[in-house]
Amino acid sequence: MVSSPVNRPLPAEPRSVGSSSGSRRRVLDPGTAYQVHDQPGVRETVYVADSLLVRGRHPDTYAALESVAAEAGFTLARDDGSALGREVLDRAPLTDAQRAELEVVWVERVRLEPSRDREETVFRPIDTWRLLQSYRSRVGRDSPRHGDVGLEHPASSRDIDPTPVTNPHPVTNPHPVTNPHPVTNPHSFAVSQYTQAGLGGRQPVAWLGPPPQPRQRQDDDAARRPVVAVFDSGVGPHPWLGERFVLRDPQVLGTSIGVPGLTGTGEPAGSGDELVGELGDDAGHGTFIAGLVRQACPDALVLSVRLFGDDGEVDESDLLRSLQLLALRHLLGVNGEAGYQPVDVLSLSLGYYHEQPEDSAFDALLHGPLALLGRWGVCVVVSAGNDATSRPAYPAAFAPYDGGSVPDDERQVPVAAVGALNPDGSIAMFSNDGPWVRYLRPGAALVSTFPTTYDASEAASHELLNAAGEWRRSLDPDNYLAGFAVWSGTSFSAPVFAGQVALALQAEFEAGDTGTDAASAVARGRRVLADLPKRALA
């Protein structure tokens, strides 16, 4: 029996928003958080404890921030890494107008360090939320500098946002579960069952069909191919994902767009655990996504930008750095610089929950480069989230909707948020939902590519050598040498839709609409999004 969504709305808060991991993470508790008069209420979130994000390099912004930091006994620490790729922008061959647009939204990170000349030799760690509130009070709510500084959130933290549904510890005990007390929480079980092998959880499978067949000849250099940037865990080795279809570690002016130190393809066996060797929670995530894009649009070129390892988490500063460098690379392609192609689609399977989405300046820092990409004609596709909640996850909720913070602007391609469907066409129980989720695509029990080197420490529960000298085994739950897997999550409905967008754009290219200027690309992108099937929203 299907419950009516009118009678049983999704919970307003994700079940695990208060969880955090890592020594640099803190949970913002609305009950104890410092607040400023006349500002919107605070909601629970996770943030990075010792850093803030700053937009634009305006002298008034830094003067106010340095002043409140000094009063708290701290100083701002800025280094080359904190500039988040600004040195590449400074030497890029751009027009004055392009450079000005990028400089306005370019975000840098500042770390807070205890002042050396403070009287106290013993001190508490800085409370960056309290410092941010002091900054906002200092500049004033109506100041154009009010939104220049923000918390740094961990994007794609497994605890709070749209990572795939995965149980990293599958049951391999050969004895069936006989506990007479089943799980009786219907909401929890309805979501958690997707983590189990056979019900959509990650598991190896065999593929018997042919690989996706491109329409364009390999030697056809004149035809324009759709370019899909995938920000994820990187793409491992697979026959479908060779150099013709995947550009690993894309760069701009010799600098990797991905997070420094994460530009490879990950651990060969899929595990970074030297002592236990279990498959990482997000191991193979980017390879699975690249295969979905190829299935939807066989001619697409995937730009594989590695943001995180097998833990599925990236600091917002690293995400911003990669977005800013991608925007720069895209502009070089638009300008016709040799070796660069304009980006047509960006697929993001990540996000977080913001503490003050009702504030008009609540997250101009992350929205800035995404809006800029949209104004230059890039279709940004984002997963809705897997927490079965109606609380907006960002950047998915940057999609325009009635009552949202971002209006629809005809001068840019809007963000597209994508929820997940079951194989029967119903909405997957784990999928976040709300008016910002305008598109639904398959996201449960999908089959796609997996690195052909993945064989972690788990093993088949049974094996024997028969009389003929042949090995008989039960299924090895983390042996993916066959190169294919089943998995579930809105992380995968987003690239399914991104591939469909790319295929529709390819049809436009083949019909002669190949303009790379902003006006042509925006009109084309908006037309494609308008024509692709949407959900019916009341």
Contact in structure between 346 and 394 (CB atoms under 8 Å): no
Separation between Cα atoms, residue 458 and residue 474, nearest integer Å: 12
Tell me the HSE value of 103 on the side-chain side, using a 13 A CA sphere.
13
Q: Is 390 exposed, middle or buried (0-12, 13-18, 19+ CB in 10 A)?
A: middle
Sign of CA dihedral 502, 441, 281, 269: negative
**Can you read off the two tokens belonging to residue 25?**
């993470």
Contact in structure between 320 and 107 (CB atoms under 8 Å): yes
The beta-strand segments (E) located in 202-254 are 203-204, 227-232, 246-248, 251-252
**Can you read off the two tokens belonging to residue 466?**
């028969």
Nearest C-alpha neighbor of 148 from the set 398, 363, 371:
363
Three-state DSSP at 90 gives: helix
Q: 54 pairs with which residues across the strands?
A: 108, 149
Instruction: Please give the backbone phi and psi of residue 73, each rounded to the nearest 5 degrees, phi first.
Output: 85, 25
Contact in structure between 444 and 424 (CB atoms under 8 Å): no
Neighbours of 329 (CB within 10 A): 27
Separation between Cα atoms, residue 75 and residue 252, nearest integer Å: 32
The two beta strands, 227-232 and 301-306, are: parallel
Place of tokens 């479908």: 240
Q: Which amino acid appears at position 100 of this protein?
A: A
Residue 3 is given by DSSP the state: P
Task: Tell me the catalytic residues.
Answer: 232, 285, 491
**Can you read off the two tokens belonging to residue 443?**
């996201």
